[in-house]
Amino acid sequence: MKISVFGLGYVGAVSAGCLAADGHFVIGVDPNETKVDLINTGVSPIIENDIGTSIASEVRSGRLRATSSVNHAVQDSEISLICVGTPSQLNGNLDLSFVRRVCEEIGEALREKGAYHVVVVRSTMLPGSMRSVVIPTLEASSGKTVGEDIGVCINPEFLREGTAVWDYYNPPKTVIGEVDAASGQVLIDLYGHLNAPMIRTSIDIAEMVKYADNNWHALKVAFANEIGTISKAVGVDGREVMSIFCQDTKLNLSSYYMKPGFAFGGSCLPKDVRALTYKARSLDLEVPLLNSILPSNRCQVERAIEMIIAQRSRKVGILGFAFKSGTDDLRESPVVDVIEYLLGKGYDLRLYDENVSMAALTGANRDYILNHIPHISRLMVSDMEEVLQFAETLVVGNGSPEFDNITSLAHAGQVIIDFARVSSRPSGGNYQGICW
C-alpha cells in the first residue's frame, strides 16, 4: 500500500519505519524540515532501539521518504496516518490543535483528489474527539462526506519507549475503531500479518480503550509502590511480596474483577482495605491510592442511588441484595446500603433474594439480619413475582441467574436499573445499566 504518516515524532517515526519494512511505500510528513532531511538521509529523528537500522535500510530501498508537502503526500498515498502530538494543557485537558490543523491540511488536499482515501488517527485522544474534531474538520475542509468519500478510523498505538519496534510487531492487541466497514477493512489488511487479536469496534470505544490501558498501567505502578512502601516499613521485602502476588494469574493478573458494575462488598475486601490503610496511618505513611479505594467504592453506591431517585417513582423492588450472587451473605453488601438510604427517604420497598431466606439463615448471617438490619427483614418476600407486581422501578442488585431474563419478565412501564449486567441491552428507555 501507499501510506502517508503525519508527524515524525516518536509514534510517527516508528510507524513509518516499520510499515516500510513490511513492504509498503511510505511518505513521512512533518513541517520540521530538519526531521524531513534526517529521514531522507536515512537517519532516524528519534532515539529508539532498532528504528535507526530500519529507517536507513528502507530509505535505501526507496520505500521510505519524507516531505513537508501535505498535498504531495496525500495525492501519492491511499492511507494517511495521523501521529501528531496531543500535549496536556495547564488544566489537564488535551491540546488538539495539532490534530485539528493536520485534519484541515489533509482535507484541503482531498478536495483535489477523486479517489477514496482513508484517514487513520493514531494520536491519543479523549472519547468524543473523533466526532467533535476529526470528522467535522475533515468534512469542512474537504467538502466531502466521511463514510462515503473519505474513510476514517482510529487505531490507538501500544508502543513503549525503548521497545517500540518489538511492540509494533508483537502488539497485545490491534484495536480498530471504524466509522464504516470499508475503512476498517483497509487496516485489517494492513495489520493482518501481526499475531495479535484484531478488534473492530466503534470510534468512541477505541478512544476510551487507550485511556483504560494507560491509566491501568499507571495504577499498577502506584499500587505496587504503595504496597512496597508499607512492606518496607514493617520489615518485609516489597519486591518479594509483589513477585508472589504476580504469580496468581487466575485472580490477580487476569480479567477477574475487571468488569464495570456495582460496588464491592462482603466480609473480606472492605475489612482488609480498612486494615491495611489503618496500618499505613499508624506508621505515618502516605498511601493516597489505597486510601482512595473505599471512597471510590462509596461513590459507586451513590451513583446507584442517584439512578433510582432519578426515576421519580416511590415503589422500588430489589432483586438480589446479598453482596454477590450465589451467597446469602449480607455483611457490607452495598445493595443493603442502597436499601437503607431509600428507606430513610420514605420509599416503599420489596426485597427478593432466593439465597437470603430467614428460614435458611443461621449463625452470623442470622444474627446480622436480626440484630443489625431487622427493618430490612420485614420487607423481604419469598416470590420474585410479588416484586414484579409491586414495583414501578426494578433494581437488579446481583447477577443471580434467575434474573437473566428480567427484561422480558418486567411489566409495561417498569424501569429496570441493572447493577450486574444481567442483560446485554444498551442503556436507554426503560432499561438503565450502571456502567453501560
pLDDT tens across 134-152, in order? Answer: 999 999 999 999 999 999 9
pLDDT in tens, 365-384: 677 777 878 888 889 999 99
Is residue 45 within 8 A of residue 81, CB to CB? The reply is: no
| CA–CA gap between residue 356 and residue 322 (Å, rounded) | 7
Strands 25-29 and 415-418: unpaired
Q: Which domains does the chain have, with CATH numbers?
A: 2-202 (3.40.50.720), 297-433 (3.40.50.720)
Judge whether residue 362 has pLDDT over 70: no
Helix (H) and strand (E) counts in the chain: 19, 13
Judge whether residue 155 has pLDDT over 80: yes
Judge whether residue 87 has pLDDT over 50: yes
pLDDT in tens, 215-251: 999 999 999 999 999 999 999 999 999 999 999 999 9
SS3 119: strand
- Catalytic residue selected from 83, 103, 153, 268: 268
Q: Could you tell me which residues are annotated as the binding site?
A: 30, 35, 86, 124, 158-161, 210, 257-261, 265, 271, 324, 331
How many Cα atoms occupy the beta-carbon half-sphere of 376 within 13 Å?
28
pLDDT, position 360: 55
| CA–CA gap between residue 201 and residue 176 (Å, rounded) | 6
422 Cβ neighbours under 8 A, 6+ residues apart? 396, 399, 403, 404, 406
Is residue 410 within 8 A of residue 335, CB to CB? The reply is: no
Question: Where does the pLDDT of residue 364 fall: very low under 50, low under 70, confident under 90, or very high at 90 and above?
Answer: low
pLDDT, position 407: 94
Judge whether residue 21 has pLDDT over 60: yes
Lowest mean pLDDT among 95-99, 188-192, 300-304, 322-326: 322-326
pLDDT in tens, 193-219: 999 999 999 999 999 999 999 999 999
Closest CA to 132 of 210, 74, 203, 209: 203
Evaluate the CA torsion angle 27, 33, 34, 37 in order and state its sign. Answer: positive
SS3 content of the chain, % helix, strand, coil (to 5): 45, 15, 40
- Return mean pLDDT, the chain: 95
| CA–CA gap between residue 64 and residue 76 (Å, rounded) | 13
Classify each residue of 195-213 as buried b or exposed e, where b means 16 or more C-beta atoms within 10 Å of its C-beta. eeeeebeebeebbbbbeeb
* DSSP symbols for 359-400: TT--HHHHHHHHHT-HHHHTTB-S-HHHHHHH-SEEEE-S--
pLDDT in tens, 254-289: 999 999 999 999 889 999 999 999 999 999 999 999
| 268 catalytic per annotation | yes
- The length of the chain is 436
Count CB-CB contacts under 10 A for residue 353: 24
pLDDT, position 363: 66
Q: Could you tell me which residues are annotated as the binding site for NAD(+)?
A: 30, 35, 86, 124, 161, 271, 331
pLDDT, position 113: 95
Question: Where does the pLDDT of residue 333 fall: very low under 50, low under 70, confident under 90, or very high at 90 and above?
Answer: very high
Judge whether residue 6 has pLDDT over 80: yes
